[in-house]
Chains A and B, each alone.
Chain A
C-alpha cells in the first residue's frame, strides 16, 4: 500500500517533468497522452487506496524523509492517506485525468502545448502534496505550489498585452496571474502566522500531535490559530474581500479554469477547515464567522453572476458562490456535508467549465453570451453536458447538487441560524436563474453571432472524456449515505435534529420552489432569444452588479495606486533626499571644512605664529575648565 501512496503522489510529477523536457519544442501529441496516462495511473492508485481505506477503515501513514529541522522544530515529508485525504485524492485525480485528456483536444492548436501539460501536471502534484501531507508545513508546500502553478497557468498566454479595464476587466493574463499570486500571498501570511501560533503552543506541526494537544490550549490561542488559518483559507478559496483574483483568473486557458479555479485548488481553503476541524470545532465564534462569511459570499457572488455577460466569469462567480455554501456548512460544523458538496461541485462545475470551453472553441474564443444563441443544433452533446451540469448546480432532484446543496441549506435551518438559511435559499433561486440564463442565451433562441463563425462540436474523444463527469454529476448524490458512513469515521458526524427531520419535506419544497422558479424565470426571459431592456441595463443596481460592486476599481484606486505612489515617494523623497543626502551632507561638510581650513596654510610665518597663539589660548581655557570641574 505504501508504494501506491508514492505512485499516486509522484505519477503527476513524473508527467510534469517529462512534459518539461519537451517544454521548448513544438507540439508533440504524445506528451499530452503520456501526461494523461500518468494522471490516470495516479487516479487508479488513489481509487485503490480509497477502496483500501474504505474496507479496512485504517489510515496509511508514510514518512518519506526529514525536511527542515532546527532548534526543537522537526518537519518531515510525511503523507497521510485517511478518509478525508483519500476522498480529495480521488476527486482531484479523477477531474485532473479528464481535464488532461480534454486538454489534448482543447490545446490542439497551441504552440505551447507541451509546456501546458508540464504546468498542469505540476499543479496536480502540488495539489496532491497539499491534501496528503501529514503536517501543516507540508500543507503549506502544496498551498504555495498550487499558487505558483496557478500563476503560471493563468499567465499561460503571457504574450498578450495589457488593455484598459473597461475593455477587459482582467487587463491581461500576466496581470491577472500576478494579482492571483499576490492576493494569495496576503492570505499565505495569515496561514504562516497560524502555523507559528500552533508551533509555539504545541511544539509540533504534525496533525495528530497538534489535535491531541488541543484540550491543553487556552481559548484565546485556539481562536487566534483558527482565525489565522481561516485567513489563509480565504485567499485560496477567494472569499470576500480577497475574491477579485478568481474572476480575473479566467484569463487562463479554460481547462485550467475547470481544474484549478473550479474543481480543486479553490476548494483547498474548505479542505483546510475540514482537515483542521478539531481546531474549528473548539472555536464556535470563529466557526460562526466562517459560516456567516460563507453565506454572505454565496449571495454576493450569485448577485454578480445575475447580470454578467461573460460565459466564463458567470461560472467563476458561481464557483465563488458554491464555495460560500461549503464554508457555510463547514462553519456550522457539518464538515462531512461540506466535503460532500466539495466533491459533487468538483464534478459538475468542471463539467460546466469544460462545456464552456467547447463553446469557446466553437465560437472562436467569443465569451459574450449576448453574442451567442442557437448553438443547440450544432453542439448537441455540449448542450446536454452543460444542461446536466446546470441542473446539478441549480439543485434539481436526482442530480448531485440537489443532495449536497440541500443538505447545507437544511443544516443552516437545523442550527437555528434562520437568517443564513433564508439567504442560502434565496441564493439557490438566484443560482438556478443565472445558470439557466446562461444555458438559454448560449444554446436557445436565434443565433446572434457573426456569420463568419461556423460553430462545430468538439472532437469526439473529448466528448467521451467528459462523460465520467456528466455521469457523476447525475448520480453522485445517490452515494451520499455511503459517503457519510465512510468519512464520519474520521470527521465528526452531523445529523439533522428530530425537529428538522419532520419538516424536511417542507424545507426541501421551499428550496425547490426557488430553484424551479429561477429556471422558469430564466426560461421566460431568455429561452426565445435576447430582448435587451435598456432601462434595466442602465439602472444603478444593474451597473453596480455588472461592475462587481466597483470593488476592483476600489482596490486599484485605494491600494494599488497609493502603494505605487508611496513607493515612488519613499525612493525619491526619503531615500534620496533625506537618508542619502544626509550621508553626502556629512561627507561634503568634512570636505568643505578641510577646503576652508586649507586657507590657513599660507606659508607666512607670522600667520602661523598668530594661529599658534590662538591654539595656546584655547588649550589654556580647556585646562582651566577641566581643573575647575575636577
Chain B
C-alpha cells in the first residue's frame, strides 16, 4: 500500500459521499464501521512506519499546477504520525459514544468529511494543500455547531468561523509572500514545504513571515488574547463537536508552529521566544483562573483547554528536544484527556440536560463508575505521574527551564492552579451529600458510554507508564529538526539558543 496516506485522506470522504445513499437507521453503524476501518488503516500506517527514520515517509507527489509549483504533495514523519492516529481514534470513539439522534445521517457524513480535512492537514507537505484542508475543516465544524448546538449556536458558529478564517487569511498572505520570495531567489515557483525549508531568509523577512503565520496558528490554538471564540464554540457545540474540536482541531495550530514556523524561520522563532512565552504564561495562569470562576462544567474544561494549550506553546519554543518532544506528546495527551472529559460532561448532560455544577453534588454515590472514570481523567488532566498527562507537561517544563527558570516557575504554577479548578469541579459535582432529588435516580454509565470511555482510560494509563512507542519516533524527528534548524540559523543568538541533543550532534 504505497498510497496509504491518500487512502487515509480520501477514504472517509468517499465513504461520506456514499453515506448519502445509506439508510437512515443504519447510518450510525455505517459511520462507526468507516471510522473503525480508517482507524485500522492509521494503525497499519504506524506499524509500517520506520521509527528509526526521522524524515518524511510514505511520500506522494503529483504535480497539480506545475507552472506555479503547486502539487499534491503529502508525507508523514514522527511529529505528524501520532496526531493523525489521534484524529482517527477520537473520531471513532466520538462516534461510538455519540448520543445525538437528530439528523444522525447528516452528522455522520459531516464527521467523515471532517475526518478527511483533519488527516489532510497533518499529512500535507504542500502549503496550498495544507491551506485547503485547513480551511475546509472549518465547514463541517461550522455545520456541527450551527445545526446541533445549544441556544446560541448561530452566534457561536459564526464567531468560530469568521475569527479563525480571518487569521487564516493573514497566513495565506504569508504563504504567497513566501512563494514569491522563493521564486525571486531560485527562479522557480514552489509551494512545497520541504523546498521552503531549504530557503535561508534574512532576519527581517523571517520576522514578517513569522508574524503572518502566527496569526493563522495563534487564533487556532487559541492563544491569549485570541481565545474567546473557544468557550462559545464549546459551550454551544454538541458533545461530539467539542470532542473533535478540543482533541484535534486545536492541535492544527500548534502543529503549524512546529511544521512551519520553527524550521522555516529559526532565527525569528528564537527572537520570538520571550513574547510567545509571555503569552503562553498568561494563557496558562489567566485562563486557569477564569476556569475556576466558571459555573458550568463544560466551560471549565473549555478554559482548561486553553490553559493546557499554553503548556504546549511553551514547549514548542523551548528550542530543545526535551521541550518540543514533550510538547508534541502533550498535544496527544491533551487530545485524549480533554476529549474524554468532554465526553464525560456529555454523559451527565444527556441525563440532566444541564451542565451547571450547582445542580449536582454527591454524584459519586449515585454513579460510581462514572465517578471513577472522571476521576482518572481528572488526574491525567492535572498531570499525575503514570498517566499520559504527566509525561508531556514534565518534559515541557523541564525543557523550558533551560530557556528561563523564572518563566518555568510561573508556567509551573499550572500544576497547582490546574489542580485547584479540577478538584473544585470534582468536589462540587461528585462529593458531598446528594441534595438534588433529580440526581438520586441517575443511571450509571451504560454499555455504549463505557465502551467509548474505557479505551481512553487504557490509553491514558498505558502511555503514562510506557510512553516510549510514541515518544521515540516523535523524539527522533524533533532531534533531526533541531539539527536542521541549528545548521540553518544565521544569527549567533539562534545558534546558541537552539540546543541540539548530544546523541544527535554531528549525526544525521
Contact = CB atoms under 8 A, between A and B. Distances in A.
Pair from one complex: yes
Nearest to A587: B162
A162 B423 contact: no
A572 B292 CA distance: 12
A564 B431 CA distance: 20
B430 A68 contact: no
Interface string B436-476: 00000000000000000000000000000111100110110
B162 A161 contact: no
Contacts of B294: 571
B425 to A, nearest CB: 11
B423 A178 contact: yes
A159 B432 contact: yes
**Interface of chain A, helix or strand or loop or mixed?**
helix
A506 interface: no
B106 interface: no
Contacts of A357: none
B384 A144 contact: yes
Contacts of B286: 570, 574
Interface stretch (B261-269, B344-352, B361-369): B361-369
Interface in A137-186: 137, 140-141, 144-145, 148, 155, 158-162, 172, 174-175, 178, 181-182, 185-186
Contacts of B394: 68, 137, 192
Contacts of A574: 286
A560 to B, nearest CB: 10
A199 interface: yes
Given A568-B293, A575-B228, A161 B419 contact: no
Interface stretch (B91-99, B233-241, B408-416): B408-416
A408 B409 CA distance: 35
A24 interface: yes
Contacts of A70: 321-322, 325-326, 329, 395, 471, 474-475
A188 B397 contact: no
Nearest to A183: B416
B289 A200 contact: no
**Interface of chain B, helix or strand or loop or mixed?**
helix
B427 A192 contact: no
Contacts of A580: 228
Contact of B384 (A148, A158, A196): A148
Interface residues of B, number: 68
B385 interface: yes
B391 interface: yes
Contact of B502 (A72, A160, A197, A587): A72
A193 interface: yes
A145 B385 contact: yes
Contacts of A174: 427, 431-432
Contact of B431 (A69, A159, A583): A159
B35 interface: no
B405 interface: yes
B17 interface: no
Contacts of A182: 416, 419-420, 423
Given A24-B369, A196-B397, A71 B385 contact: no
B228 A579 contact: yes
A137 B391 CA distance: 11
Interface string A55-71: 00000000001111111
A72 B322 contact: yes
Interface centre among B386, B413, B474 (most CB of A within 10 A): B386
B49 interface: no
A71 B501 CA distance: 6
A593 to B, nearest CB: 15
A185 B416 contact: yes
A566 interface: yes
A197 B397 CA distance: 11
Nearest to B290: A571
Contact of A564 (B225, B293, B364, B501): B293
A567 B293 CA distance: 5
B391 A193 contact: no
A71 B479 contact: yes
A475 B196 CA distance: 77
Interface in A268-307: none
B321 A66 contact: no
Given A579-B225, A580-B228, A158 B290 contact: no
A73 interface: yes
Contacts of A570: 286, 289-290, 293
A175 B162 CA distance: 43
B245 interface: no
Contact of A72 (B408, B415, B433, B503): B503
B365 A196 contact: no
B293 A193 contact: no
A419 interface: no
Nearest to B299: A571
Nearest to A179: B423
Interface in A576-592: 579-580, 582-583, 587
A217 B488 CA distance: 33
Contact of B466 (A65, A160, A567): A65
Given A24-B369, A70-B322, 7 more contacts: A68-B394, A68-B471, A144-B390, A182-B420, A563-B292, A579-B224, A580-B228
In the A-B complex, list the 8 residue pairs whose CB atoms are closest, starting with the nearest: A71-B321, A174-B431, A580-B228, A71-B322, A196-B401, A567-B293, A141-B385, A571-B293
Interface of B: 159, 162-163, 224-225, 227-229, 286, 289-290, 292-294, 320-322, 325-326, 329, 362, 364-365, 368-369, 379, 382, 384-386, 390-391, 394-395, 397-399, 401-402, 405, 408-409, 412-413, 415-416, 419-420, 423-424, 427, 430-434, 465-468, 471-472, 474-475, 479, 501-503
6 contacts: A69-B468, A70-B325, A148-B379, A159-B362, A160-B432, A185-B382
